[in-house]
A and B are shown apart, each in its own frame.
Chain A
C-alpha cells in the first residue's frame, strides 16, 4: 500500500526529517484561510506518478490564482484518480537536489540504502548513477555515512544527508515499510536539507500491527468504494487475469500452477486468488472459511467468469466448515437465479451462476468431500475431481463457446 504525499510528510515531520510548512486543502475555498505565505505550490494528492507532467502541480502567487488552480486540480484525474485533498506548500529555492531511499531487497534478505546526486533518476540508467549500501547487520549510522561518501558528499553536507538517511531508516523499521523514498531532497544555499517530496510503501503483511496504518487502509478502501474489485484484488495475493475460469488455490504456488495448467489446456484463466492469506484490508484475523467465502463472492461478482476452479490439496483448516461454506454459496446463487427468473417472467436470462469444479485430494479433505458430494449433480453445477489435470480439463470444457453474434 502506498501513502499519499501529505501522509508521508506527516511521518517525516514526526521523525524529524525537515519538511516545508504546508496545509491540506479539501475545497478551493479553504485557500482563503491559508496560513502559509505566497508563493505556494499546489499539489494534487493522488497515488499516480507523473503528477507534475499531467498538470497536478502548480505554483501560484496570489489567492485568486490559487483558487483557480485548485479548482482545476480537483477536477483533473491523473491516471484515472481524482484527488480528495490538494496540498498547499511553501515554495523552496533549492541549489541542489538528491534522491534517497531505503528499500527491502528480498533477494538478499537485507535492507539497502540508495542515494543519487540526481533527483529524477532515469531508472534505465540508474545502475551508473545510483549508489547503494547493504545494511548487513543491525543498523548503525555508519551505514548512512558510507552511502553519503559513496555519493561523493563531503563535510557538513555529508553529515546532514547521512543524518536524514538515519532518520529515514528508523522510519523504515518503525513502520514496517517495503520502501521509503525522499525525492527530491533539496539543499539550499545555506546547506540546509529539505524533503520536498516522498514516497512510502507499507508492507501489507505488517499492517495489522500498526493501528494507524490499518485505519488509513480502511479509509482508502472506503474511498475507492466497495464494488471496485480491482482495488480489493490489488491488495490480495492474486493474479488479475481476464479469462472465464476463476481460480482459488490454497497457496501461491498452487494458484499459479493451476493458472498455467488452465492456459496450457486451452482455457483462459480469470482472476486467481490465494486463500492462504487474507487481503491486507482485513486487519482483523480471518479464517480459511472467511477467505473462501470472500474469494467465491469476488469471483461470482465478475460476470465474465463462467467456471470457478477450486484447487485444494492436502489439508485445510476446518475442512467441513469450508465445504459447508461452498454449499451455502451455491444455494444462495440458486435462490438469486430463481428470483431473477421470476422477475423476468421466466424468460431465460444470461445470468447463470458459475459452474464450480472443485479439486479435492488428501485424506483430511474426505470430510469436505462428504459434505459436498450430495450436491454433485447437474442442477447444482458442482463437480468434484481428484486429479488436477482432470479438474483443469473439466473446467476448460465447461466454458461456453463465445456468444453467438446476432446479425441485426
Chain B
C-alpha cells in the first residue's frame, strides 16, 4: 500500500465518471497526479494534465507509477488495467461502473498473479482525509481522524463519512471496494489493512445484498480483528432480485444457505460475530462512540 502524497498517480481515460472538478480536487488535496493517458490524444492537455497515448510512455518519462485511476468506458477497462499491469503499476483503482463480469474474472486472474491491488470497478477510490485522495470521493464530507470506512457502495461511503464528521468523528482511511457484482479487493483485505493502520482506532463496514462477502467479513472480524467494528447493511427492504436467482441456483449445489445474499443473512452474521449493526447511517456515530468507550 502506498498512500502517501509522494505516490505517483496517473488517470487512464476521461469519461462521465471523472470531471474537471474531481481532478482539481485531487490536485488540491496534494495528490501527485503526473499525467493522463487517453489513446489518440497524446500531446494534448486535459484538465490541466499532460496526456499520453500509452501508459508506458508515462512510465518512461516519470519512472514507476504507483497508482492508476481508470475512468475509461466499461468495455475498455480490462484493456486499460492490463496495460497498467504491463507497466508495473501495483495499485489500480477503477472508477468506471458496469464492467462486464467476465472481463473482471480475467483481470482478477492476472492481478492475483502479479499481486496487483485492484479497487473497484464502480468505486470512488480511496481517501486518506487531509493527506491524499485517489479517486472521486467528495472531500468536503471528510475530516482527518481515526475511523476507517470500508464499503461496497459509493454514495453510502460519503453518507457515512458525513454522519461521522457531523458527530465530530474524523476518518483515517475510507475506501469503497465497488458495488459491481465482481470487484477486485475484498472486505477482508481492507479489514486487514485498517487493522494494521496505526491511525485507525475503529472501523465502519458498509454492506448491501448480494454475494457472501459481508458474512465472510463478519467471521474474520470475530477471529482476527481487535479494533471495534460497526456495520451498516443497506437493502433490508429489498425484495429478492432476478440477478440473485442465478446465485440461488448455485446455492444448493455448493452448499450455501437458502438466504444467501440477503441483507438479513448479513445482519445475522454480524450479530453472531457480536458486531453492532446500525439501523440507519445517522445512528452509526452513536454505536461507534459506545464501542470506543468500551
- A→B interface (CB under 8 Å): 103-107, 109-112, 114, 123-127, 130, 132, 137-138, 173, 176, 178-179, 201, 203, 205-206, 208-209, 234, 239-241, 249-254, 256-257, 259-261, 263-264, 269, 276-277, 285, 287-288, 311, 313-315, 317, 361-364, 388-389
Task: Evaluate contact between A363 and B102: CB separation under 8 angstroms.
Answer: no
Q: Mark B155-196, 1 if CB is under 8 A from A, else 0.
A: 110110010000000000000000111100000000000000
Which A-chain residue is minimally distant from B236 (CB atoms)?
A260
B281 at the interface (CB under 8 A from A): yes
Residues in B whose Cβ lies below 8 Å from that of A264: 279-280
Residues in A whose Cβ lies below 8 Å from that of B124: 314
A111 to chain B, nearest CB (A): 7
B235 to chain A, nearest CB (A): 4
Residues in B whose Cβ lies below 8 Å from that of A313: 138, 155, 158-159, 162
Task: Evaluate contact between A107 and B155: CB separation under 8 angstroms.
Answer: no
A234 to B239, CA, bound (A): 13
Task: Evaluate contact between B159 and A388: CB separation under 8 angstroms.
Answer: yes
A111 to B44, CA, bound (A): 41
Residues in A whose Cβ lies below 8 Å from that of B151: 253
B285 at the interface (CB under 8 A from A): no
**How many of B's residues come within 8 Å of A, CB to CB?**
67
Label chain B's interface by main secondary structure.
loop
Task: Evaluate contact between A105 and B250: CB separation under 8 angstroms.
Answer: yes
B268 at the interface (CB under 8 A from A): no
Cβ 8 A contact of A206, one of B100, B136, B182, B211: B100
Task: Evaluate contact between A127 and B208: CB separation under 8 angstroms.
Answer: no
From B16, B74, B182, B250, residue with most partner A Cβ within 10 Å = B250
Q: Mark B86-130, 1 if CB is under 8 A from A, else 0.
A: 000000000001111110110011000000000000101000000
A1 to B122, CA, bound (A): 22
* Shortest 4 CB-CB contacts between residues of A and residues of B: A253-B153, A254-B155, A206-B100, A256-B235
B277 to chain A, nearest CB (A): 12
B178 to chain A, nearest CB (A): 11
Label chain A's interface by main secondary structure.
mixed
Task: Evaluate contact between B237 and A315: CB separation under 8 angstroms.
Answer: no
With A103-B246, A260-B235, A314-B155 known as contacts, the answer to whether A110 contacts B101 (CB < 8 A) is no
Task: Evaluate contact between A205 and B98: CB separation under 8 angstroms.
Answer: yes
Taking A253-B206, A313-B155 as known contacts, 20 extra A-B pairs with beta carbons closer than 8 A to each other, sorted by chain A number, are: A112-B250, A124-B252, A127-B255, A132-B253, A176-B102, A178-B101, A178-B246, A203-B101, A249-B155, A251-B153, A252-B153, A253-B154, A259-B238, A264-B279, A276-B97, A287-B16, A317-B17, A362-B138, A363-B138, A388-B159
B249 at the interface (CB under 8 A from A): yes
Which B-chain residue is minimally distant from A134 (CB atoms)?
B254
A125 to B250, CA, bound (A): 12
A79 to B269, CA, bound (A): 37
B242 at the interface (CB under 8 A from A): yes
A351 to B162, CA, bound (A): 39
Please provide the chain B residues from 182 to 224 with a CB less than 8 Å away from any CB of chain A in the complex: 182, 206, 208-213
Cβ 8 A contact of B209, one of A209, A256, A317: A256
Residues in B whose Cβ lies below 8 Å from that of A105: 247, 250, 254
Residues in A whose Cβ lies below 8 Å from that of B146: none
Which B-chain residue is minimally distant from A365 (CB atoms)?
B138
Residues in A whose Cβ lies below 8 Å from that of B74: 205
B213 to chain A, nearest CB (A): 8
A-B contact pairs, 30 of them (CB 8 A): A105-B250, A106-B210, A109-B104, A109-B105, A109-B182, A111-B105, A127-B255, A179-B246, A201-B246, A203-B102, A205-B101, A206-B101, A208-B75, A234-B242, A252-B208, A253-B152, A253-B208, A256-B208, A256-B234, A257-B281, A260-B236, A261-B280, A263-B236, A276-B122, A277-B98, A285-B73, A361-B162, A363-B138, A363-B140, A364-B21
Which B-chain residue is minimally distant from A362 (CB atoms)?
B138
Residues in A whose Cβ lies below 8 Å from that of B105: 104, 109-111
Cβ 8 A contact of B97, one of A111, A127, A240, A277: A277
Task: Evaluate contact between A240 and B250: CB separation under 8 angstroms.
Answer: no
Residues in B whose Cβ lies below 8 Å from that of A288: 16
Task: Evaluate contact between B238 and A107: CB separation under 8 angstroms.
Answer: no
Residues in A whose Cβ lies below 8 Å from that of B152: 253
B4 at the interface (CB under 8 A from A): no
With A203-B101, A254-B156, A362-B158 known as contacts, the answer to whether A263 contacts B109 (CB < 8 A) is no
Cβ 8 A contact of A317, one of B16, B235, B255: B16
A178 to B105, CA, bound (A): 12
Residues in A whose Cβ lies below 8 Å from that of B250: 103, 105, 107, 112
Which A-chain residue is minimally distant from B73 (CB atoms)?
A285
B282 at the interface (CB under 8 A from A): yes
Task: Evaluate contact between A109 and B108: CB separation under 8 angstroms.
Answer: yes
Residues in B whose Cβ lies below 8 Å from that of A179: 246, 249
Cβ 8 A contact of A127, one of B100, B179, B252: B252
Task: Evaluate contact between A106 and B237: CB separation under 8 angstroms.
Answer: no
A250 to B179, CA, bound (A): 12
Which B-chain residue is minimally distant from A243 (CB atoms)?
B237
Residues in A whose Cβ lies below 8 Å from that of B280: 257, 260-261, 264, 389
Which B-chain residue is minimally distant from A105 (CB atoms)?
B250
Residues in B whose Cβ lies below 8 Å from that of A110: 105
B19 at the interface (CB under 8 A from A): yes
Residues in A whose Cβ lies below 8 Å from that of B102: 104, 111, 173, 176, 203, 206
Which A-chain residue is minimally distant from B176 (CB atoms)?
A253
B153 to chain A, nearest CB (A): 2
Which B-chain residue is minimally distant from A106 (CB atoms)?
B181
B141 at the interface (CB under 8 A from A): yes
Residues in B whose Cβ lies below 8 Å from that of A239: 237-239, 241
